[in-house]
Structure 1
Amino acid sequence: MATGMSDEAQFVTFALGKEVFAVPVGVVREILDYEELFRIPNGPDYLLGLRDVRGQGVPTIDLRLKLGLSKTEPTPSTRVLVLDIPLETRMLSLGMVADKVFEVIPFRRSQIEAAPEIGVRWSSDYIAGVVRRDEGFVVIVDLARLLSSGDTALLSVRNAA
């Protein structure tokens, strides 16, 4: 019989517009207030720039743009989730802008549904699962899949500098 610990996982929930997303709490190093970033010339539009996080230059992305939504307009609620994303051969440190961070919440594995099929070509590879709640859905983001190999190479260039 499974123990309660193995039957649920902790997630950090956050908003992009009116939609609620989540990432596993294990990849979240810290959550910071939004501040202007050092802009990186010729980067993709979703790469906002570098942020100094305790002496480390961390590339920061606008997840809204990466998902095809409108650009983030910073407000007093805007936060940056500093993430350590395990990839096949290394760890990628990344800042991700969220309109608002809500809470750390446990989801039972039985609550997490697969990404829905909608019958047309739609990239849902980045969706690790969907959880139904009274107020709507929470989309669990698979960050390693969301960032293509080209993205991770670009975001890792700073390590060589």
Structure 2
Amino acid sequence: MTTATAVLAEQDIERRHDQNQYLTFVLGRETFALGILSIKEILEYSAPTEIPMMPAFIRGVVNLRGAAVPVVDLCARFGRQSTPVTKKTCVVIIETRVGEESHVIGVVVDAVNEVLEIPHSDIEPAPSFGASIRADFIQGMGKVRGKFVIILDVDRVLCIEEMEMLTQASADSGVVQSAA
């Protein structure tokens, strides 16, 4: 095996290893996970700058090294009540891709737990019913220490097109309400 082939093989093993690693976090009383490959950083919570006429799940924007990054409240995105901000509340900065475009979005979580390696053999398919969030938001159910962790499909949860439609609908209803 040539040196270049060995390096490529090592990179492939490392990439597969990263694909099995998930950042776990808490929302309310449930534990969720996101693949670490989509996570850019974790920030201590500071109140985002609010933007008028946004849907309830968009808390506002934060300044990330000069760039305005939208912040999504995952509880509100899942149709739940927002949980109060505590010392453990964080903003996880995530990069999503839509075709060739990449988008950086922050998500508010109640607390970050740990990075876990969950082998593919320990991931069950998403349930078709009974989940507390939309089934299409769930990539799978990871078995960790005898309990299930909900592995989120980041591209569905933070789907830019869907969030833009909801933002437009929210703006339209604001116009209708103010005209009435």
Query: Normalising TM by the smaller chain, what interval?
Result: 0.7 to 0.9
Please show how residues 40-55 of structure 1 align to structure 2 within 5 Å: 40-55=51-66
Q: Cα gap change, 1:43/1:137 in structure 2, threshold over 3 Å: closer, same or farther?
A: same
**Count of matched residue positions in the alignment of Structure 1 and Structure 2:** 152
* Aligned-residue offset at 1:29: 0.6
* 2:120 equivalent to 1:109: yes
* 2:179 equivalent to 1:151: no
Aligned to 1:88: 99
- The 3-state SS of whatever aligns with 2:136 is coil
For structure 1, list consecutive stretches of 5 or more residues without a partner in the other structure. Answer: 156-161
Structure 2 Cα separation of the partners of residues 134 and 106 of structure 1: 12
Runs of 4+ in 1 over 6 A off after TM superposition: none
Q: Cα gap change, 1:119/1:15 in structure 2, threshold over 3 Å: closer, same or farther?
A: closer
Q: Cα gap change, 1:12/1:152 in structure 2, threshold over 3 Å: closer, same or farther?
A: farther
Structure 1 Cα separation of the partners of residues 130 and 87 of structure 2: 39
| Higher Cα radius of gyration | 2
Kindly provide the amino acid, as one letter, of the partner of residue 121 in structure 2: S
For structure 2, list consecutive stretches of 5 or more residues without a partner in the other structure. Answer: 1-11, 168-180
* 2:69 equivalent to 1:58: yes
* Aligned-residue offset at 1:89: 3.4
CA contact (8 A) 1:62 1:72 kept: no
Which residue, 11, 26, 35 being the options, matches 2:22? 11
Q: Cα gap change, 1:53/1:111 in structure 2, threshold over 3 Å: closer, same or farther?
A: same
Higher strand proportion (structure 1 or 2): 1
Task: Give deviations 1:71-103, integer Å, cap 9, x for gaps.
Answer: 131000000001111222311110000000011
CA contact (8 A) 2:96 2:158 kept: no
Aligned to 1:159: none
* Aligned-residue offset at 1:123: 2.9
Aligned to 1:98: 109
* Aligned-residue offset at 1:136: 2.4
Coordinate RMSD, CA, aligned: 2.3
Structure 1 Cα separation of the partners of residues 166 and 62 of structure 2: 16
Structure 2 Cα separation of the partners of residues 99 and 84 of structure 1: 20
CA contact (8 A) 2:78 2:134 kept: no
Aligned to 2:139: 128
Please, what TM-score do these two structures have when normalized by structure 2?
0.76
CA contact (8 A) 2:118 2:143 kept: no
Structure 2 Cα separation of the partners of residues 68 and 39 of structure 1: 20
* Aligned-residue offset at 1:152: 4.9
Q: Percent of aligned positions with the same letter in both sequences?
A: 32
Task: Give deviations 1:13-36, integer Å, cap 9, x for gaps.
Answer: 000011000111011110000001
